Structure 1
């Protein structure tokens, strides 16, 4: 591959050119590499919660409120820090962040089994969060440029990788610690170290975006204050609910008599179904519009979350799967929506959707833990189940509707025109 600058009226940005066909954007092999790396990187986000109720909380004597604040620390570093990394990527490039992110996340998060101090545990979790955060802006902005058309589908493939990693880690971590003890957690760093080595040799260049006549990001925010507020509100309240469930679900199930392995399996059900929902949401948004998919799926998740909390037996798993699919269906869609709202600053836009908004929601997890200590965890989670409805209301303020449908129609027409052109070439 070679890398060329593409000059526009508003800005100059770097594109990756596939030598085999000359199309702008990374090749499919690049998308596969970034998606696989995303799987490993985000797997470390779900290492901590399933080990809490049966292993870490008893070992360190932690209260549920203290656990909530640990989750908040991770949310701040893994999410809010993405905005800073997005700015850094736009200004100086971000390949080194793609390489270092999984390494830092894996080493620090896998060390938690060796730590016997609350302060040191918070430090390790914070550093792991920074590693997770560093990877996302440059990798998501690169993955989003794979194709000019069907961007919702392409981004959903990339996000699918992260969600699969999030789903795989809980049962693996619980099995390892159940069999070999907390001191075995450093073994979990191996995949992250290996993928960082691979990325060192294979990761694509992510060059800086040099703005000339274009508006600065702050100017674009001032020009679109309603869309900006709607985007942050949507992501923040969805993330508030999601982080609260992923943090406290193992503890909730442990209190109900489930084994650590069963609790880890339920967490995997939530995130794996979310991965499938995210893939479907991204694909459907290309045809039905971003706003409809985001608002509709968020509203749909509320009854499923409530039915999960109030049911038992097999139905509990079924309702949790439906809740995960609907709650995470808008995940990749909000990233694409952010990039469409702020097209001249895609890395920063990605960090808003994947990071800053998530971090705002993650700040509420500490409050969830404090609420649970006062009224009980079950009652607290019932209240949290209504938060996606608030997110859906914010989503109604996003641009979309007829414009999105026209974009989808234009994409279809473009596909037909390219197909006709290929036949003309063959006939010649």
Structure 2
């Protein structure tokens, strides 16, 4: 039996549920960088220390993901999202009460572990509910995460920044709600796992490419992840400080700039998924990473109004790549969906954490404006997408699961 979706349709109730729980998961993650101005003042932190907070969280969120994905490829876990939310809940509660630097690092590490458990199986659930519309399904899944990340700085600006770090505890309701949604998704997924197990000699279609070409394609995709997530780290972690320093605006006004970017990221993610299914994932990837270059190069030098316009354009274009990158990688290696999802989500988080730590160190030793001048060249790495094969025109072969 060949695994395909030609005669099926997307399971939208599950896709929307997975997207919503992704919103809740990434909202919890988004609280961490959103309170950096508060932490910097209350705990007298340097940019290097702020970068290290992101590094610890992102490494925890990345290093376990390929391991979790490989394990769930062999032993699917329908209720793994509930375990992920439990880690996030504990981490968030500790973060609210963390009044020294060491406890801050421990709490964000636990939130990162929750994220590492959440993403591999959730991405597989989106794939299984796609009905063949894989980029669309992945973008629906991803847009939930983007929306959660976008909501975090706005809600933090109005509910936490005026009251202090202790007010974070009110957001503990978010992972608790996530556990309820995870129960609904897990029941559906448990049935799907039973159906798949009952099918004998199941095979899937894989691109008929030599192993060397597959490896090269994975390396190219990882280079694109480095470019994309180093640049995103510069925006999500330090853009508040850049705009506050350059334009003399308040913390709340700076959070609004970040909100513009993150909302644009959410919209761009959905558009990228639609265009990936229609025009081909390779071309969406290429346009997304390389096409943002002229706007990124201009951003450090423009005025207040133009900054707001460019940050929206950058968010729209840059974000459209990720659903296509994930699905492209899954189609390269369809027997290892969990491992590939974990590898790419984990690598993205890891590069975001490494980028944040390096950029924080450079900001301390140069200036916050200088790092934006350097980062503006990162999208030029997108030229390597030229070397990706067009999987929609590549012959496929059957391989056993």
**What range describes the TM-score normalised by the shorter chain of this pair?**
0.7 to 0.9
CA distance in 2, matches of 1:294, 1:202: 30
CA RMSD of aligned residues (A): 2.9
Answer yes or no: is the 8 Å Cα contact 2:224–2:289 preserved in 1.
no
Residue 213 of structure 1 deviates from its aligned partner by 10
TM-score (norm 1): 0.82
Partner residue in 2 for 1:416: none
Partner residue in 2 for 1:52: 36
Residue 25 of structure 1 deviates from its aligned partner by 7.7
- Cα deviations across residues 317-370 of structure 1 (Å, max 9, x unaligned)? 111000111111101111111111111111112122222244134322211111
Partner residue in 1 for 2:73: 90
Structure 1, 248-257 or 372-381: larger mean CA deviation: 248-257
CA distance in 1, matches of 2:346, 2:384: 18
Partner residue in 2 for 1:412: none
Partner residue in 2 for 1:138: 121
Q: What is the correspondence of 1:241-252 to structure 2 with a 5 Å cutoff?
A: 241-252=231-242
Unaligned runs of 5+ in 1: 1-6, 18-22, 408-428
Answer yes or no: is the 8 Å Cα contact 2:51–2:353 preserved in 1.
no
Partner residue in 1 for 2:20: 36
Q: What is the correspondence of 1:104-115 to structure 2 with a 5 Å cutoff?
A: 104-115=87-98
The one of 168, 177, 201 aligned to 2:160 = 177
Residue 400 of structure 1 deviates from its aligned partner by 1.6
The one of 134, 142, 165 aligned to 1:159 = 142
Change (3 A) 1:40 1:300: same
Residue 283 of structure 1 deviates from its aligned partner by 0.9
Partner residue in 1 for 2:207: none
Partner residue in 1 for 2:109: 126
Unaligned runs of 5+ in 2: 205-209, 397-401
Partner residue in 2 for 1:234: 224
CA distance in 2, matches of 1:213, 1:40: 35
TM-score (norm 2): 0.88
CA distance in 2, matches of 1:178, 1:58: 11
SS of structure 2 residue aligned to 1:381: helix
Answer yes or no: is the 8 Å Cα contact 2:293–2:377 preserved in 1.
yes
CA distance in 2, matches of 1:126, 1:266: 27
* Structure with max Cα Rg: 1
Change (3 A) 1:271 1:264: same
Residue 149 of structure 1 deviates from its aligned partner by 2.8
Change (3 A) 1:170 1:298: same
Select the structure with the greater relative contact order (CA < 8 A; seq sep ≥ 6). 2
1:353 and 2:344 are equivalent in the alignment: yes
Partner residue in 1 for 2:130: 147
CA distance in 1, matches of 2:58, 2:170: 24
How many residues are matched? 386
Answer yes or no: is the 8 Å Cα contact 1:101–1:132 preserved in 2.
yes
The one of 324, 329, 345 aligned to 1:338 = 329
CA distance in 1, matches of 2:179, 2:302: 42
- Cα deviations across residues 287-339 of structure 1 (Å, max 9, x unaligned)? 22111111112112222223332222222111100011111110111111111
